[in-house]
Structure formats: structure tokens, C-alpha cells
């Protein structure tokens, strides 16, 4: 524990007892013990985790070689972003064969070895399923192009005639989430396909041109995906993260929609623009992170998940489905995790809540209420492969819009502030009951790569936005394992598919593991204590002294008091308080320990 001597004046805020009066909004559970209710799940982005074959791109044997990292850190499960055969137009979220590992990442046998090694260590493994769209290289789409209008092959996708005299206008006005129109026109003449002539039908793609949306009204689409689920369940995967889980069913007739579907909220803003207005938190915890429109959150998606629930049910080991659904409010998101549907849903309202005591109290309350109402665990997440790493995002002072990536010419984050807040946010998150997600590298305190050369960018959002959104490459840079090795030990050759910034040296796993007070040691201590004290199944009671404070967030989970200070004046802890973990240096005034600004502590109750 690092204590910092301080001569600052007596703190204005204090806690006088380690057993404060609390208003309990979520009771501890003593019944349901399925692993996914409490699991801390580590997201692996395979191309950037560890490279075994030296081509500069991470692979499955690389992940297997690092399984002890997960054990040492203390997580319960690993979720792997897609590793299936794919032309990699969207880093594997464009799947050409759902049953085969891409040679870039290894073989199916490599995956089975990974699974075996993980299970031997008591780790669960979650695969990523991408059912909203396939790759344009998928056999079904190739057959659809070849078969022509009106064919059974085209019926599995959303092909439509264009508008205008010669069908030269797209069937509706939908925009792709990556920017540009959501429709691409094909040619109906085999020869024209290679000379760029388009004269035929249009197909829908909510993401890149190379990611055609499937038609989920088609029974073959439904049965194929149930079969794919069984294929991986039979091999032993413990669950699936379902990509764009709110997008598979579209409103009948595909009506026009003038709303915004882009990845940047308030997309009229320049990328990375900061709004100086404080972020207003809605009563129900909504932040604007939810997608709306006739292509999202349609009632019909729930039938799919009820059917999938039945596919998983006969398997042993509490297999789980996790919804990646950008849906708000949280009560609406909770419909995906009703008792006969999926098991968890990512909490993007929490991820996108500003660093503000009142806003966080609101979103945590709304999250627990919404999931308690359907008997599902709440989840918490601060980073993933689609958003700016929280160590950098939280250093974008005053940011109210959520930029999609940060480029050289955008306002740069304050790295020190970002890391301090990120550590405080993480320690707060890991003190909450439910399940939590950790994105690879955040345990090393890894920042976003914010000055990547534009010509190295690979995210389709970069060009599809007309080069206005930097995109997501900055959070997908290969991990640093060894400070003094080439490529920071990412692989045996020093090659890395994206360059690593110099700041990664101090984040390298070997340095982090050996340094007292490092971000890694904080994560490790928090995960061990979380497990020992059963915080995942724990309670949540807001400390009444701070129930309406704008600068302090304090709650009790089981016998741990979690206090975060957002304000300038340190918060004095009760005399003799036993601090279990702190996210940063504490102050001492007389015989009282103080929690300074942007710091979270866990105190024994």
C-alpha cells in the first residue's frame, strides 16, 4: 500500500465508520451459482494477443502458450474474438466458413488444444459467433451472386431491386454503421463482375460491403446457425458471444430511416471532438449508446434466442450465450437475458457513462434493477476491441461525444489522468456484483495507440467514413509481453501487424508483473479479493452519507466498502480503516488515511 504524506488541510469529506448505513438495492444471492453469473471474462483479440509462428499476427498457439497468464491474473474465462476462415475485411468479423479455423490463426486441432489446456486450468472458453452477416467469400454468398435474381440462393440474404427508372438507386436510405450506404449493387452478367459494371440487384450490408446481411426470416439460415452452435458445443466451448445480437431481424418492408446508425454519437461532430457540456445522465442509465431504427432490436430477434437457449440446454456445464447488443434503455436490453433467452448481455450504457459520481450511481442502479427484474446477472465492461481503451478514453477531458478512434490530428488524451481514472474505474467495476469483462492489455495499463500513421489503418470504418473517423485500430495493437525484446516479445521475430508505440515498454507484462503498485498487480489483487469475498454474488448498498454526492461514490458489497473520489478534496477514511486495495497513492492527514481525487479504495467492513 503506498501512502503519500500530505500537508493538505483537513478533508472536507469523511467517512466516520467502516460500517456505514447503506440503502441496499441488490441483495446477495445464495442460490444460483452458474459460473457465468459471477465470471470475470478476459477478451482475447487473437490477431493481437501473442504470435507463435512469427508472421507478426497473433494466433491460437500463441494464446495457448500464454494460458498461465490468465491463471496468474485470476480470471475465470476467456472470450476469443473470431478466429474462423475469413478474408479479414473486418478483422475476422466477416466469416467465410464458420466451422474452420483460419490458417492465419492455426488449425481446428490448435483450437482443440487451446480448449483442452484452458479446461485443464479451470478456465472456460467463449467463442464469438457472427450471425448477422457472412463474408462475401462465404459459399452461400458466392452462390447467391452466381444464381441471380429470384433464386433460392439469393433468398438467404437481403437482395432487393433498386429504386429509380433503372434500379440505379438503393432500395432504401439505410446507412452502414461504418459509414456510406448500407447497399451495394451487383452485376447480373458474369463477365461484368470483373469489369466493375453494376446493373443488377442490391444487397444489404449494415457493416462493410464485404459483410452481406443474412435474411433471418429464412428457415435455412436458422437451422444452419443452430448447427454451427452444436458444432462448437460438441467440441467443448463453454459459450458464445453473439455479434450484433440486436440486428438480425429487420422491420418488414425495410422502411426508410433518417436516424443515425454511425459508430460516433452526434456524428456531425468532428472525430475526437470534445463537448464541454457535462454529460447529462438519464434517469434510466441511458447514455445514447443504443442503436435504434428498423434494423435494430426488433421483436423477432427474441424467437431466435429462445430457440438457441434450447440448443444449449441439453449440454452439461452451464453453457452460455452473451448478447452484444447496443440497446437502451437497460430495461430493454434485459429482454435479451430473460430466463428462456440468453444468459448475459454487455452493458454498454455502463461503458459509455461519463466519469461522474451521480451518472455512475444512476447507471449502476438502473443496471441492477433491470437485470434483477429478469433474474439475470448484470455485466460490467470498460474496454473492448471496438472502443477507445479506457486508459485513454478517460483522459479525453470533457469528452461527451464518443469518438471512433483517435488520430494524430485529433485532441490527444492526457495519459496520466487517463490511467489514474482508468485504474479507479476498474477497481470500482471489480467491486460490483455480477460478471465483468476485461479486454486484453487493460491489465497492463495499456493506452490507445493515438498517433498511428493513417496509411497503416486497417479498420474499414476509416475509409468508409471518408477518412473522417480514425477507427478502431488504436485499441487493437499487438500486446507487449517483454520490455526488452523486439516487438516487445509479441512473437519470435519482432514483427507486429501494427506498430507498437514506445509507451508500451513500461506496460510490458514482465515489467508490470515485477513492479509493486503496477496496474497488473492491482488487477491481480482485486480479482483474488473479489473471488475470496464472493463479490460476484454479492450485494450492493449505496452508502447513505454520499447518496446524492456529486464527488463521491461509495457502496458496500458483502464485507467490502468501495469508495471512489471524483472531487478535489480527499475523502478521509475512518480511523483504523483497513485498506485492502487502492487504485493509486493515498494521502495521510494526522492519523486518517485520505482517498485523493480519481482514486478508488476497497476497505474491509
Q: Are strands 40-44 and 435-439 parallel, antiparallel or unpaired?
A: parallel
Please say whether the beta carbons of 203 and 183 come within 8 A: yes
* Rounded-to-integer distance, Cα 560 and Cα 602, Å: 6
| Range list of β-strands (E), 377-466 | 379-381, 435-439
Q: Which residue's CB is nearer to ligand TEU, number 95 or number 553? A: 95
Q: Which residues make up the interface to ligand TEU (CB under 6 A)?
A: 90, 93, 130, 177, 207, 243-244, 263, 291, 324, 326, 385-386
Instruction: State the minimum distance, in angstroms, from the CB of residue 437 to ligand TEU.
Output: 12
Give the burial class of 475: count Cβ atoms within 10 A of its Cβ; 0-12 exposed, 13-18 middle, 19 or more buried: buried
* Rounded-to-integer distance, Cα 458 and Cα 377, Å: 35
Q: Which residue's CB is nearer to ligand TEU, number 269 or number 369? A: 269
Q: Which of 288, 359, 283 is nearest to 564 (CA)?
A: 359
Instruction: State the minimum distance, in angstroms, from the CB of residue 528 to ligand TEU.
Output: 30
Q: Which residue's CB is nearer to ligand TEU, number 466 or number 576? A: 466
Instruction: State the minimum distance, in angstroms, from the CB of residue 405 to ligand TEU.
Output: 11
Q: Which residue's CB is nearer to ligand TEU, number 149 or number 259? A: 259
Instruction: State the minimum distance, in angstroms, from the CB of residue 360 to ligand TEU.
Output: 20
Q: How many residues does the chain have?
A: 605
Dump the DSSP string for 260-297: --SSSTTTTSPTT----S--PPPTT---S----STTSS
Residue nearest ligand TEU, Cβ-based: 93
The contacts found for 65-71 with CB under 8 angstroms, 24 or more apart, are: 66/481, 67/114, 67/117, 67/118, 67/121, 67/123, 68/121, 69/509, 70/42, 70/118, 70/121, 70/123, 71/121, 71/122, 71/123
* Rounded-to-integer distance, Cα 72 and Cα 176, Å: 41
Q: Which residue's CB is nearer to ligand TEU, number 404 or number 593? A: 404
Q: Which residue's CB is nearer to ligand TEU, number 356 or number 386? A: 386
Identify the three-state secondary structure at position 449.
Answer: coil
Instruction: State the minimum distance, in angstroms, from the CB of residue 178 to ligand TEU.
Output: 8
Instruction: State the minimum distance, in angstroms, from the CB of residue 299 to ligand TEU.
Output: 19
Instruction: State the minimum distance, in angstroms, from the CB of residue 249 to ligand TEU.
Output: 14
Q: What is the 3-state secondary structure (H, E, C) of 123-137?
A: CEEEEEECCCECCCC
Instruction: State the minimum distance, in angstroms, from the CB of residue 468 to ligand TEU.
Output: 15
CA distances from 160 to 171, 184, 185, 246, 464 (A): 6, 10, 9, 22, 22
Q: Which residue's CB is nearer to ligand TEU, number 153 or number 243? A: 243
Instruction: State the minimum distance, in angstroms, from the CB of residue 204 to ligand TEU.
Output: 14
Q: Which residue's CB is nearer to ligand TEU, number 90 or number 297? A: 90
Q: What is the 3-state secondary structure (H, E, C) of 504-537?
A: HHHHCHHHHHHCCCCHHHHHHHHHHHHHHCCHHH
Instruction: State the minimum distance, in angstroms, from the CB of residue 135 to ligand TEU.
Output: 10
Q: Which residue's CB is nearer to ligand TEU, number 259 or number 300? A: 259
Q: Which residue's CB is nearer to ligand TEU, number 433 or number 474? A: 474
Q: Which residue's CB is nearer to ligand TEU, number 265 or number 369? A: 265
Instruction: State the minimum distance, in angstroms, from the CB of residue 96 to ligand TEU.
Output: 13
Query: Residues of 432-448 as b/e, b for ≥16 C-beta within 10 angstroms?
Result: bbbbbbbbbbbbbbbbb
Number of helices and strands (H, E) in the chain?
15, 24
Instruction: State the minimum distance, in angstroms, from the CB of residue 176 to ligand TEU.
Output: 10
Q: Are strands 320-323 and 239-242 parallel, antiparallel or unpaired?
A: parallel
Strand order in the sheet with 592-595: 3-5, 586-589, 592-595, 571-572, 13-14
Q: Which residue's CB is nearer to ligand TEU, number 93 or number 520? A: 93
Q: Are strands 552-557 and 540-543 parallel, antiparallel or unpaired?
A: antiparallel
Please work out, in degrees rounded to the nearest 5, the angle formed at the alpha carbon of residue 200 by the alpha carbons of 199 and 204. 125
Please say whether the beta carbons of 586 and 601 come within 8 A: yes
Q: Which residue's CB is nearer to ligand TEU, number 385 or number 457? A: 385
* Rounded-to-integer distance, Cα 7 and Cα 5, Å: 7
Instruction: State the minimum distance, in angstroms, from the CB of residue 355 to ligand TEU.
Output: 20
What does the longest C-alpha to C-alpha distance in the chain come to?
83
Amino acid at each position: 500500500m503506498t501512502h503519500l504524506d500530505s500537508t493538505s488541510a483537513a478533508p472536507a469529506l469523511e467517512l466516520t465508520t467502516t460500517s456505514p448505513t447503506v440503502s441496499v438495492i441488490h441483495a446477495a444471492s445464495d442460490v444460483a451459482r452458474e459460473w457465468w453469473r459471477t465470471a470475470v471474462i478476459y477478451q482475447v483479440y487473437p490477431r493481437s494477443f501473442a504470435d507463435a509462428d512469427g508472421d507478426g499476427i497473433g494466433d491460437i498457439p500463441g494464446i495457448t502458450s500464454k494460458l498461465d497468464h490468465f491463471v496468474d491474473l485470476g480470471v475465470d474465462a476467456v472470450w476469443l474474438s473470431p478466429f474462423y476462415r475469413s478474408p479479414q475485411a473486418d478483422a475476422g468479423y466477416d466469416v467465410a466458413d464458420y466451422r474452420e479455423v483460419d490458417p492465419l490463426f492455426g488449425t481446428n486441432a490448435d483450437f482443440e488444444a487451446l480448449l483442452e489446456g484452458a479446461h485443464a486450468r479451470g478456465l472456460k472458453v467463449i467463442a464469438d459467433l457472427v450471425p448477422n452477416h457472412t463474408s462475401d467469400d462465404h459459399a452461400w454468398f458466392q452462390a447467391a451472386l452466381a444464381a441471380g435474381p429470384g433464386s433460392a440462393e439469393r433468398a438467404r440474404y437481403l437482395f432487393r431491386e433498386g429504386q429509380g427508372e433503372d434500379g440505379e438507386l438503393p432500395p432504401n436510405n439505410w446507412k452502414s454503421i461504418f459509414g456510406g450506404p448500407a447497399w451495394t449493387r451487383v452485376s447480373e452478367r458474369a463477365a461484368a463482375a470483373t469489369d466493375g459494371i453494376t446493373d443488377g440487384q442490391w444487397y444489404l450490408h449494415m457493416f462493410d460491403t464485404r459483410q452481406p446481411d443474412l435474411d433471418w426470416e429464412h428457415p435455412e439460415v436458422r437451422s444452419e446457425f443452430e448447427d454451427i452452435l452444436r458444432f462448437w458445443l460438441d467440441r467443448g466451448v463453454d459459450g458464445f458471444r453473439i455479434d450484433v445480437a440486436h440486428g438480425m431481424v429487420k422491420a418488414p418492408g425495410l422502411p426508410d430511416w433518417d436516424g443515425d446508425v454511425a459508430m460516433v454519437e452526434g456524428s456531425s461532430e468532428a472525430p475526437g471532438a470534445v463537448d464541454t457540456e457535462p454529460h447529462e445522465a438519464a434517469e434510466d442509465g441511458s447514455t445514447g449508446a443504443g442503436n435504434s431504427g428498423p434494423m435494430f432490436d426488433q421483436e423477432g430477434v427474441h424467437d431466435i434466442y429462445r430457440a438457441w437457449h434450447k440448443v444449449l440446454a441439453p449440454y452439461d456445464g452451464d453453457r452460455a450465450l452473451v448478447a452484444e447488443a447496443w440497446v437502451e434503455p437497460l430495461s430493454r436490453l434485459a429482454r435479451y437475458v430473460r430466463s428462456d433467452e440468453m444468459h448475459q448481455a454487455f452493458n454498454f450504457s455502463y461503458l459509455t457513462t461519463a466519469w461522474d459520481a451521480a451518472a455512475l450511481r444512476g447507471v449502476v442502479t438502473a443496471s441492477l434493477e433491470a437485470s434483477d427484474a429478469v433474474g439475470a446477472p448484470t455485466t460490467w465492461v470498460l474496454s473492448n476491441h471496438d472502443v477507445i481503451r479506457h486508459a485513454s478514453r478517460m483522459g479525453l477531458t470533457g469528452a461527451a461525444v464518443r469518438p471512433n478512434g483517435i488520430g494524430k490530428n485529433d485532441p490527444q488524451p492526457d495519459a496520466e489522468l487517463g490511467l489514474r481514472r482508468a485504474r479507479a474505474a476498474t477497481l470500482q467495476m471489480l467491486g460490483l456484483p455480477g460478471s465483468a469483462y476485461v479486454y486484453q492489455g487493460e491489465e497492463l495499463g495499456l493506452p490507445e495507440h493515438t498517433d498511428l500513421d493513417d496509411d497503416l489503418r486497417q479498420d474499414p470504418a476509416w475509409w468508409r467514413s471518408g477518412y473522417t473517423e480514425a477507427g478502431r485500430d488504436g485499441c487493437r495493437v499487438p500486446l507487449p509481453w517483454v520490455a526488452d525484446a523486439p516487438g516487445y516479445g509479441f512473437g519470435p521475430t519482432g514483427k507486429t501487424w501494427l506498430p507498437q508505440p514506445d509507451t508500451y515498454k513500461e506496460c510490458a507484462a514482465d515489467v508490470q508483473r515485477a513492479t509493486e503498485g503496477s496496474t497488473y498487480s492491482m488487477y491481480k489483487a482485486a480479482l483474488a479479493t473479489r473471488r475470496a469475498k464472493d463479490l460476484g454474488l454479492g450485494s450492493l448498498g449505496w452508502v447513505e452519507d454520499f447518496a446524492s454526492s456529486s464527488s463521491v461514490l461509495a457502496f458496500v458489497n458483502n464485507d467490502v466498502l468501495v469508495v471512489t473520489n471524483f472531487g478535489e478534496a480527499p475523502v478521509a477514511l475512518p480511523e483504523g480503516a483497513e485498506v485492502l486495495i487502492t487504485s493509486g497513492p493515498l494521502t495521510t492527514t494526522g492519523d486518517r488515511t485520505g482517498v485523493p481525487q480519481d482514486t478508488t479504495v476497497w476497505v474491509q467492513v
